[in-house]
Amino acid sequence: MRTTVGIIGAGPAGLLLARLLHRAGIDSVVLESRDRGHVEHRQRAGILEQGTADVLRAAGAGERMDREGLRHDGIELRFDRRRHRVDLPALTGGRSVMVYAQTEVCKDLIALQLKEGGPLLFEAEALAVEGAAGDRPRIPFRHQGREDVLECDYAVGCDGFWGVARRAFPAALSRVFERTYPYAWLGVLADVPPSHGELVYARHERGFALLSMRSPSVSRLYLQVPPGTDTAEWPDDAIWTELGRRLETDDDWRLERGPITQKSVTPMRSFVHEPMRHGRLFLAGDAAHIVPPTGAKGLNLAVGDVVTLARALVHERRTGSPDLLGTYSATCLRRVWQAERFSCDMTTMLHPAPDGTPLDARLQRARLERIASSRAAETDLAEAYTGFPLG
């Protein structure tokens, strides 16, 4: 099998890259190890930055997002039983975010790729990336019980942290920066309307809590828990009771309860692999970087990567110049490190550490007080939350 761009992974990064290339007249093949149902139903991020939403619209993939997604113009910070709303458009010149689940983004992009784009092979397991330093990378893969090889001009690893693409980087070239946080998130989906119209980030002595949503009738909620927590340790009543404690305020706000339909535990870490390019192999999304979910940056960083890469590939096709491909890694990493910084700041500000001291607790509260009382500090948060420039 032969194509111009071989893409490993049909998550948002791989699917959006294929869509952008198709609209520019560049052919690609997408290999996805899982079946279509798994890709369309695995729960991940749900907050789209302004730039991400704009890219989906420009790619012809924003119709359902604009119809069913929920535009949010603010977030709420809670601490010491107090509430502080951050007005995103007022602080950023009009920017907002969109609540639209990653599962729905994938469904939209899959439908478009199967209807208009190049081959999208499910249950096609990439086995390696070979020859990245040469002119013709090769991706051996297994599909429907048979082994084949995808030959391409460029290979792109959108295959996540555990994928094969990053393994093709020489050890002498790779630099890894990482941090594991001493807490995790217990996340639940509940069939109950959200108890607040915007996301609520709460710092509490008992641990962090987040009130989010997937739709006007489905709530997405999180609790800080120890790493390795088993969901069986948390019956539904205990989850609702703990959420009520951590989200409690001094006014008449109340947490609405309903049937919990799904539980999961998410570990938290920061990870960056440098560089993001080796020869004709490029990394995008979780294959190159992971952020703690507090800053809502994971999916959005992946979008920034593939927008930058698509622009570089189109530039090379139209001008013959590889200049933008040569600066792909440096361009992406500027945005990646700002997102890592913001996500780490949000995480350490809102999560009491298991070994935290009274001084640590006071410093967390002081950081929150600063945001609540300083327009400059509040603007810095709002600008980061709604998204750093793409590319």
Q: What is the C-alpha to C-alpha distance for residues 83 and 269, in angstroms, rounded to an integer?
A: 28
In a domain, 247, yes or no: no
Domain range holding 19? Answer: 2-72+98-179+269-351
What is the H or E stretch that residue 358 is in?
helix 358-373
Between 290 and 390, residue with greater pLDDT = 290
Query: Is residue 341 situated within a structural domain?
Result: yes
Cα distance between residue 137 and residue 7, in whole Å: 11
Is residue 243 domain-resident?
Answer: no
- Is 373 a residue whose pLDDT tops 80? yes
Rounded CA separation 182/355 (Å)? 9
Read off the pLDDT of residues 199-211 as tens digits, 9 standing for 90 and up: 999 999 999 999 9
Q: What is the per-residue DSSP string for 226-280? A: -TT--GGG--HHHHHHHHHHHH--SSS-------EEEEEEEEEEEEEEE-SEETT
Global confidence as pTM: 0.95
Instruction: Identify the burial level of 151 via C-beta atoms within 10 angstroms of its C-beta, where 0-12 means exposed, 13-18 middle and 19 or more buried.
Output: middle
Mapped onto helix, strand or coil, the DSSP state of residue 370 is helix
pLDDT digits (tens, 9 = 90+) for 219-245: 999 999 999 999 999 999 999 999 999
What is the distance between the alpha carbons of residues 210 and 194, in angstroms, rounded to a whole number?
Answer: 11
Count Cβ atoms within 10 A of the Cβ of residue 114 and give its class: 0-12 exposed, 13-18 middle, 19 or more buried: exposed
In a domain, 231, yes or no: no
What confidence score (pLDDT) does residue 389 get?
Answer: 85
Of 113, 95, 111, give the one whose Cα is nearest residue 48: 95
Judge whether 24 lies within some domain. yes
> How is residue 7 written in tokens?
């893409």
Please write the tens of the pLDDT for every residue from 1-15.
999 999 999 999 999
Helix (H, G, I), strand (E, B) or coil at 59: coil
45, pLDDT greater than 90: no
pLDDT per position as a tens digit, 278-336:
999 999 999 999 999 999 999 999 999 999 999 999 999 999 999 999 999 999 999 99
Q: What is the spatial distance between Cα 306 and Cα 328, in angstroms, rounded to a whole number?
A: 10
User: What is the spatial distance between Cα 252 and Cα 303, in angstroms, rounded to a whole number?
Assistant: 40
Whether the CB-CB separation of 306 and 21 falls below 8 Å is answered with no
Confidence of residue 391 (pLDDT cuts 50, 70, 90): low
What is the percent of the chain where pLDDT is above 90?
96
* pLDDT beyond 90 at 29: yes
Over range 135-162, report the average pLDDT: 96
Domain count, the chain: 1
- The average confidence (pLDDT) of the chain is 96
In a domain, 215, yes or no: no
CA distance 199 to 212: 5
As separate numbers, helices (DSSP H) first and strands (DSSP E) second, the chain gives 12, 19
Q: What CA–CA distances, in Å, run from 131 to 17, 138, 151, 155, 313?
A: 22, 6, 10, 10, 19
Examine residue 157 and state whether it is found in any structural domain, yes or no: yes
Identify the CATH number of the domain in which residue 121 sits.
3.50.50.60
Average pLDDT of the residues in 192-201: 97
pLDDT reported for residue 44: 73
Q: Rounded distance, CA 194 to CA 59, Å?
A: 30
Helix (H) or strand (E) run with residue 147 in it: strand 146-157
Residue 129 lies in a domain: yes
Catalytic site positions: 72, 201, 293, 297, 385
